[in-house]
Amino acid sequence: DPKFIVCDEPVSALDVSIQAQILNLLMDLQEERGLTYVFITHDLSVVKHISDEIVVMYLGQCVERAPTKELFANPMHPYTQALLEAIPIPSLKNRGKKRKLLTGEVVSPIDPKPGCRFAPRCKYATDACRGRDFQLKDQGNGHQVACVQFE
């Protein structure tokens, strides 16, 4: 009878209908047994339905934290924005639409330099993003972001 469960990419290799079944099962178990999940995934569309709060990390660094509805309504960190833009939206309007791809080099997670680890891939990065680490700062509504734009 655990109270806390870590789910590491539990539905990533499954088709959408099986994903939905697994997520429904997890949510039913959560309600029945009062479980708390840490749900690790790169797919924010999956956690949107199961999470009350989301923490976005990039190479081990917390870049944004917010209640789920707030994060989807107002993503602040450029990495969070990129993750949300990567969610496919089935629509005839999107047919042939080019997806925005991240460019730049991924920083080595082994011995990263101080600063925002997303900076080499961020279109808004300046010299102020490098040289020192950023802490999550409160932006209101339970929303926190670690970005020089919001200091």
With CA atoms as reference, report the closest residue to 116 among 145, 81, 86.
Answer: 145
Distance CA(71)–CA(81), nearest Å, equals: 10
Query: Cα 39 to the chain's mean position, in Å?
Result: 11
pLDDT of residue 111: 85
Q: Residue 83: helix, strand or coil by DSSP? A: helix
The pTM assigned to this predicted structure is 0.87
pLDDT of residue 102: 79
With CA atoms as reference, report the closest residue to 120 among 103, 135, 136, 137.
Answer: 103
pLDDT of residue 2: 93
Distance CA(9)–CA(110), nearest Å, equals: 22
pLDDT of residue 146: 96
- Cβ pair 11, 18 in contact under 8 A: yes
pLDDT of residue 100: 66
Mind listing the pLDDT tens digit of every residue in the chain (151 residues)? Answer: 899 999 999 999 899 899 999 999 999 999 999 999 999 998 888 888 889 999 999 998 999 999 999 999 999 999 999 999 887 776 666 566 566 677 888 888 888 889 999 999 998 999 999 988 899 999 999 999 999 988 7
Q: For the chain, what is the largest distance between any 2 Cα atoms, rounded to a whole number of angstroms?
A: 50
Beta strands 36-40 and 4-8 are: parallel
Structure tokens at 133: 């680490």
Structure tokens at 12: 């990533």
* 45 Cβ neighbours under 8 A, 6+ residues apart: 87
